[in-house]
Structure 1
């Protein structure tokens, strides 16, 4: 795997991690549930505006045709929104009222583990020893980064945070099922539905909207840290699969802590540097992966942005100006070959059990 393959997931982690300290600056002015709603709303509104600008471009005819979710995939998308955009934040906020911030930070690292376990055992995504070791190393760095002695004590608050992590892990795996669609469209729909839902819950609970400047700041942080981050996350799901994308995304706290040191200047402690080293090693293990074997592609029809590479040798039933990448419904015929690949949207095949 090259840096180019990993770049969308790493960029998504950086944007989301950076949003955490900036969101912390807003917590004193906005209630937690309302803040969660406004962040998602900023994501959905900002991405919707970008989609509108894309549709207005003269060269975007193929994009306009692709800005729809197939009817058969809506249950996956709505399930992802329900678990990740509604239930997850609610469980987290309930848990935060009964446990410390240190405990929450420590427990949130479980999301990456849940994401990988569901991907490997429920959706049968392939992973070799190197990928598993890399994921565990990254998660170990996350544990060190948020470690506080005695923080992870058993309590109802801790169980609620674990439930939030499980919801987000389910969200990640369900989102992969719709990742062939336009990534910005998927992220915009998730942001709008989750944002409207959580903001409505907050207002019905007695919260009131903040002033214009604070409202704008919430929406801006949500657009960058949630909207663009989620768009890149969906792109990564399309190219890397769920477990690998989840592992890269798990380094987000490292970016958040680094930016926190810049906002609230202080010298990073030993645990920060140990965590950074572990995350770097885990990322390196993933990047150096080379998975190659003879595999068979089953016949498949779908739509996504693509170039005419070895997996996209098809003709067009419409006038094509030769511009790539482009998007349109296309068919894949059965094909058997061997090359380096990852569990992307074209390589979701089964693997024979290894015999050591």
Structure 2
């Protein structure tokens, strides 16, 4: 007898998808904790170093042109995570960061229209409007008495994520996990160089000298649990089902992010922020360009 399914997904696989979304949501709490021990660019570089070095010996070559690996490594690995980590370090709360970052779906539609000449559907335009309204509500709520620059840095990270999605769609890597591992490797040296230039060698050296168990736990979670385990499980699900079946589970990421930040960091969950979150998630759900080509999230 065939195993019962929930909307076409086996229950144990649905549980795996929920687990991955939860891991990626809690990942923002781990980032917040890690930023207490490391400067943001150094922490981002260490994250990719820890994710890439063991995995490079276990995966094959990316099987796409190296220019696409380098492009995604710079746009996604360096720019996106550099902006996001810096924005969170500047004061953007972990829970709101997990939500605002999902505006990448809006930027993906915009960049695809400009660069790939993909005409947005009416539902996509409506979704952009709804999600943008939610982001505006968050900006107005957060901007009162808070550093608006931190919010804008996370928005810039979302824009870079959207651009990297379009580049990845064009590259069409046959092995997503191998591709991301090599992308991670590309990001390491530029992030370390930027850290030395912007954050300074003294700050980097002080952070490395003060390396302790809390920093190691945060680094281990974002590198191995969130990146390697999370992406590996997501890749398994995408091999078992159409992406249009798996992708909706990623909508749980900001939910898990905001709830875990509330539980572990004491971040406030107001009615206004929850309403804005619903607007962003609803709009994001309408903006997938082509569900079968949905690029798995890397947080």
Please indicate, yes or no, whether the TM-score normalized by the shorter chain is above 0.5: yes
Residues 14, 252 of structure 1: 8 Å contact kept: yes
**1:127, CA displacement in angstroms?**
4.4
Larger RCO: 1 or 2 (CA < 8 Å, sep 6+): 2
Q: Does 1:198 align with 2:191?
A: yes
Structure 2 partner of 1:35: 43
SS, match of residue 171 in structure 2:
coil
Instruction: Determine the structure 2 residue equivalent to 1:297.
Output: none
The offset of 1:283, in angstroms, is 6.6
- Per the TM alignment, residue 218 of structure 1 is displaced from its structure 2 partner at its CA by 0.5
Within 5 Å, give how 1:128-167 maps onto structure 2: 128-138=121-131, 140-141=133-134, 144=137, 147-148=140-141, 150=143, 163-167=156-160
Q: Which of 175, 182, 189 is 1:182 aligned to?
A: 175
Is the 1:32–1:93 Cα contact (8 Å) retained in structure 2? Answer: yes
Residues 88-115 of structure 1: CA deviation (Å, up to 9, x unaligned): 3445566678x6536x959756533222
Instruction: Give yes or no for contact 1:47–1:223 (8 Å, CA) kept in 2.
Output: no
Partner of 2:263: 262
Farther off after superposition, 181-190 or 193-202: 193-202
Q: Does the 8 Å contact 2:33/2:218 carry over to 1?
A: no
- For residues 179 and 162 of structure 1, what CA distance do their matches in structure 2 show? 26
Aligned to 2:225: 224
Q: Give the distance between the partners of 2:144 and 2:101, measured in 1 at CA.
A: 12
* Structure richer in strand, relative to its length: 1
The 1-side partners of 2:145 and 2:75 are apart by 24
Question: Higher Cα Rg: structure 1 or 2?
Answer: 1
User: Counterpart in 1 of 2:68?
Assistant: 76
Aligned match for 2:92, one of 88, 101, 104:
101
Aligned to 2:293: 344
TM-score, length-scaled by structure 2: 0.67
Say which structure is richer in helix.
2
Distance 1:159-1:26 versus aligned 2 partners, 3 A rule: closer
- Structure 2 unaligned segments of length 5 or more: list them: 1-6, 295-299
Aligned residues: 271
| Distance change in 2, residues 1:273/1:228 (3 Å) | same
Q: Distance in 1 between matches of 2:284 and 2:170?
A: 25
What TM-score, normalized to structure 1? Answer: 0.58
Find the counterpart in structure 1 of residue 254 from structure 2: 253
2:105 to 107, 112, 118: 112
Name stretches of at least 5 consecutive residues in structure 1 with no aligned partner: 53-66, 292-340, 346-356
Alignment partners' CA distance in 2, 1:270 and 1:279: 14
1:118: how far off? 0.8
Query: What is the distance in 2 between the residues matched to 1:107 and 1:266?
Result: 15
